[in-house]
Structure 1
């Protein structure tokens, strides 16, 4: 009797998450067809460049795009707020004060920040006895988030400080103002956030707050161009063999799997052979059957890293607990950090790494902290070694991504620094596969050695923007670093492998020549003078050592070098 399937927030299903969702839809459609159901699929998406193509990838069905969703759209005013006009007040503090002022003027406001800590800080600094701003982010229980939504709809509060969690699936029609505490990193996300206001007949106001960093200055100098730019493409990792293997196993348990029902391809053939060899499937003629009755119970929809449990002492609700990932705990809840929970500051008193528990006590001063994070890559076994040119080395390696908080700065409620402390925090290391591109002779390439690191760093950011197009990965699937390494700096592109081998890095190395060519075009076609978020700047990177001219020269030189054929590695060499 299944007649309609609705996919909301379709733009969210990209990269590995998109591939997992694609597998889920394929299994649903397969079972529906078995029971003679032919459901119609209706999808709703935020602003992306390729809604039709993206949905066809996810569902393997044809779609008709309806541009007018029927939602009311009022007049919208966009204002760019230059935070450098008041250099003594940090941008997040200005966002908090501006939000409080707007609420006093009886505006209904949501202010978006790019991190959980910023969202909590704005809620704390912007609230007073008469006007509350409640935080809204991931990590809260569903009950807490529903409470915030209810209070905003009912009018008992007029301000919410949120992360991207409010971009998805929450419709609060009474909002008339959106404040962006910094550029969100993409045009799609910019319009998804600004679109949260003005869904009724009220005129909408959007305020984009920009600071003194290079990305902000570039946006301010090209504000009109920013608003006219085409949104990014949504890309699902549709050929990820690890995820395909997982869904083939589950499909065979739901209904015997016929060879003829699977699209022919080396990925599916290899995946089925692997499952048979591991005794997870048995083959009976042309039919595959599961050897386990409910393999779903031990198969996660998405791999998730382990988490810490945070306990908040001295609260009215003695059960106040929050769970955060190991990486979030490292950055936000190291010993001595001020962790903000529902707009209230707590000081981290104890971190138990063995039991993965964190204990916090109330922080009476209203301070907040900012960690100094060290991140590097420890190279291990060489999987492939390429020799495209004497001045360039390319290797595919096993690696460990290493992160540690070495200290933190402490600020008062007005954003003034009051202390700087060292801290010994646990080292977090995660297995990864990586491509390492090392330039060993910059003079031969015609690049000044002093410009090499800045040029490679800028080129790394450009490659990070184009590689998802070539690997069918999402922007969060691949990560990158530029390592100084003395006189031979390297660009490192890596993929956290968790518990299974990576196919993503193999696609990177096979598309490296084309990626360099696309990066060259991206940099050359951009009209900015010294770099902007659309060519060589990255909002997630704190290192501002960037040289757009050197990056363009390097992309042209390296793009002319043939990547060649991978040479067999002995497998015993250590990096």
Structure 2
């Protein structure tokens, strides 16, 4: 289908034209080719040619040449631009060259065991499996049987791991396996580490925030051990287009930016792409049951009562659009913001298709994390071959799994960063074909803003990948793990950053490590790798098991288990509903029974925030702005049953689950009585004003920091025990923090001014999801007072501007009085 035909389906022949706030036609790009490098192995080149690659693109050759020359390299080009060739061409050539050297002169002692090895790391097992399949196809096309490749991860048996450690030339795995298995048992992997020629880090833009910091430190530990075994591997990074890729890559590896070559000039072809910004329509009433299909978007969502003229949810709108595109013959992906959203869009799309053409209903499925590996592989193969026409997916398919030939991509809600937006959009029209992309806005201040400001969504530069390996909460357990693998010497500290010595001294003082003249030692019996979880999941995944059969249905992250698989929760798996009978947190198991129900479940919880330490503060006249460390404690207290699709509350039950405490970074500001009086805020209006300001500021911080709303949490209270004043907190939703709060602190005046402007620009009368309601509020978006929040922020921003221009009022204004009520509200974590 042409993009014009696809756009006509989307607009329903003009009947939905008013929902398209902007249509952008992105021009096609011609391919630029380069000759095969002279050093490239001829058989490998033959394999590529047999696969249809007659000549590589310019960026592939530029990167491959640098890698072959021994230069750390990051390749940051568009989705579908063939980045994998840039690392497989030199990697396979090196393996074959070393194998040939051993064959030609087997008697030389220095050639014994010197068969080059390659370690490929990806953020997901699915991507590693996809790369393995592509690599095996390439070797088969080349007729090569002397290159031994294998995937090795937590699902690999002990016997298979032994074979991989002893024989494999190319090992495809993930940072988690390195951290928990390979590095702690490095003696078993001595052959691989001693011969390590290349380390490949694929889709490295996915390693951001706290997860990125963990992966950066795992890489440092890997390079340290490889050096101990006599290897100095070259690191190759493949990334989506990001800002300053050389700096991000250098921070990931632990070198200077001058040591990394960034290849960013994309020589691959690109078809014409039509990009549509889309806002669902306002609802005239409750007569559209699918309009309340599911809150946008996560399992912690608790929607409030509809505000003035609420709009149809993005998930419901995307289900309609997806059904129409599939019925017209298009192959599509619909990206959603949560597992619940993926299941709901798939189910609603199938329901629509039953009315159009029942034979099409089975051609749409959901794809998300938590599925079993064999289920994911089957779905990937089905969408590749065309047996499935569409998948409703989480960002699990954003990364480099090869799915070509798609006509359209629908994106339900801002994916968090422009990097992710273009990665998801790149799935449409791959391999130089035309494609259609539609970003469908949720009722969220950021989404609403972007739907009406195409320059912010489509013209602004992509973000840099942010992470901080020096974060002491992340660095400390990795130093322990490094010491357990091999005592940490003083001359190795530069690899771990300037703060490593202070952290080591603190660990030594606490008795966690032992200092000797030869270095720092781990002397405990338990494995040091267990001190940290790379993905911040806070424990082992909870397995969801069918009670009657013992069949494993899937998994849920430990922090989400309280809210999603508690006793009585409805668990949806590929459209089939189960009701959880029991949740055993100690055993990480939830037992569920297959049951057809007409309702879903939504958890309720309470949150409190305690200030642990203040790192910095700033006075804006009477307003005080802080950044520091806080403890955020969350407890699920019950859940509601809501009928689907109209979400009418059917009942509520209490739950008795343990509290969870997160120590993280936060930014907060206080508003003393003088500020409240200036803004005309009464004690009665205060909780709603603070709560609304908190929600809106969380929604706008992603414009300034490389994060999305789900990376953040917050709390507002009319009297906080630690500040003694009305206070609004916004905190990172990651252990130890991820740098987002610090970014908010540095740009405080800009951030709060943008928040004020977003509230003021919203046409609703009393507040709605597009301005002050939050999709993840733990208090059912109550209380909220839009007008009071706007007045309060107006005063706060005025004082901030005055302080920064030097025209501020007396910073010593009387703040001794305090309010007599204490009402806390929270968006959760």
Deviation string, structure 1 residues 168-227 (Cα, Å, up to 9, x no partner) = 242211222111122323322222211122212331111222355554443333245422
Does 1:46 pair with 2:219? no
Judged with a 3 Å threshold, the aligned counterparts in structure 2 of structure 1 residues 168 and 441 are, in CA distance, closer, same or farther, namely same
Q: Which moved more, 1:273-282 or 1:129-138?
A: 273-282
Q: Which of these residues, 394, 403, 417, is aligned with residue 186 of structure 1?
A: 417
Structure 1 match to 2:596: 364
Match of 2:260 in 1: 63
Secondary structure, aligned partner of 1:3: strand
**Superposition deviation, residue 396 in structure 1:** 6.2
Q: 1:551 aligns with which of 786, 793, 804?
A: 793
Find the aligned partners of 2:692 and 2:615 in 1 and give their Cα distance: 25
Alignment-derived partner of residue 568 in structure 1? none
1:489 matched to which residue of 2? 726
Q: Does 1:304 align with 2:537?
A: yes
For 1:290 and 1:354, the matched residues in 2 are separated by 28
1:58 is displaced (CA, Å) by: 0.9
Decide whether aligned partners of structure 1 residues 381 and 190 sit closer, same or farther in structure 2, where only a CA change above 3 A counts: closer
Aligned to 1:571: none
Which residue matches 1:572? none
Note if contact 1:112-1:164 (Cα within 8 Å) is conserved in structure 2.
yes
Q: Secondary structure at the match of 1:170?
A: coil
Moved more, 422-431 or 401-410: 401-410
How far apart are residue 111 of structure 1 and its match? 0.8
> What 5-or-longer segments of structure 1 have no aligned partner?
565-574
Show the counterpart of 1:25.
Answer: 219
1:366-405 aligned at under 5 Å gives the runs 367-369=598-600, 371=602, 373-377=604-608, 379=610, 392=624, 399-404=631-636
Query: Could you tell me whether the CA contact under 8 Å between 1:432 and 1:494 is conserved in 2?
Result: no
**SS of alignment partner, residue 24 of structure 1:** helix
Match among 652, 655, 668 for residue 425 of structure 1: 655
Distance 1:185 1:541, change over 3 A: farther
Q: Is the 8 A contact 2:758 2:771 kept in 1?
A: no
Q: CA deviation at 1:377?
A: 0.8
Q: Is the 8 A contact 2:756 2:790 kept in 1?
A: no
Partner of residue 84, structure 1: 281
SS at match of 1:84: coil
Which residue number in structure 2 is paired with residue 569 of structure 1?
A: none
- From 105, 111, 116, the equivalent of 2:334 is 111
Per-residue CA distance 1:494-518 (angstroms, 9 max, x = gap): 46786xxx5879x968x88634244
Deviation of 1:55 after TM superposition, in Å, equals 1.0
- Structure with more strand by fraction: 1
Q: Take 1:284 and 1:46, find their aligned partners in 2: how far apart are those partners?
A: 44
- The structure-2 alpha-carbon separation of the partners of 1:308 and 1:68, relative to structure 1 and needing over 3 Å to count, comes to same
**Residue 419 and residue 73 in structure 1: after superposition, are their counterparts in 2 closer, same or farther (change >3 A)?**
same
Separation of aligned partners in 2, 1:79 and 1:474:
21
> Which residue of the partner structure matches residue 394 of structure 2?
163
Q: Measure how far apart 1:346 and its partner are.
A: 2.0
- Cα distance, 1:228 vs structure 2: 1.5
**8 Å Cα contact 2:634-2:661 kept in structure 1:** no
Cα distance, 1:238 vs structure 2? 2.3
Separation (CA, whole Å) in 1 of partners of 2:477 and 2:677: 45
Query: Counterpart of 1:446 in 2: which secondary structure?
Result: helix
Question: Counterpart of 2:239 in 1: which secondary structure?
Answer: coil
- The answer to whether the 8 A contact 1:371-1:405 is kept is no
TM-score (norm 1): 0.81
Distance 1:108 1:386, change over 3 A: closer
What is the rounded CA distance, in whole Å, between the counterparts of 1:195 and 1:355 in structure 2?
Answer: 41
Normalising by the residue count of structure 2, what TM-score does the alignment of the two structures yield?
0.58
Question: How many Å separate the matches in 2 of 1:517 and 1:341?
Answer: 45
Task: Specify which of 298, 313, 318 is matched with residue 95 of structure 1.
Answer: 318
Q: CA deviation at 1:117?
A: 0.7
Q: Which residue is equivalent to 2:570?
A: 338
CA gap of 1:252–1:393, structure 2 versus 1, over 3 A, is closer
Deviation at 1:63, TM superposition (A): 2.4
Q: Which residue of 2 aligns with 1:320?
A: 552
Residues 179, 206 of structure 1: 8 Å contact kept: yes
Given that 1:48 and 1:233 are in contact with CA atoms closer than 8 Å, whether structure 2 keeps it comes out as yes
For residues 38 and 312 of structure 1, the distance between their equivalents in structure 2, rounded to whole angstroms, comes to 49
CA RMSD of aligned residues (A): 4.2
Moved more, 336-345 or 519-528: 519-528
Instruction: Name the SS of the counterpart of 1:22 in structure 2.
Output: helix
Partner secondary structure for residue 65 of structure 1: strand
Q: In the TM superposition, what is the alpha-carbon distance from 1:38 to its structure 2 partner?
A: 3.2
Structure number having the greater helix percentage: 2
| Max Rg structure | 2
Q: Distance in 2 between matches of 1:527 and 1:226?
A: 19
Distance (whole Å) between structure 2 residues aligned to residue 398 and residue 112 of structure 1 = 33
For 2:698, the equivalent position in structure 1 comes to 461
Corresponding residue number in structure 1 for 2:297: none
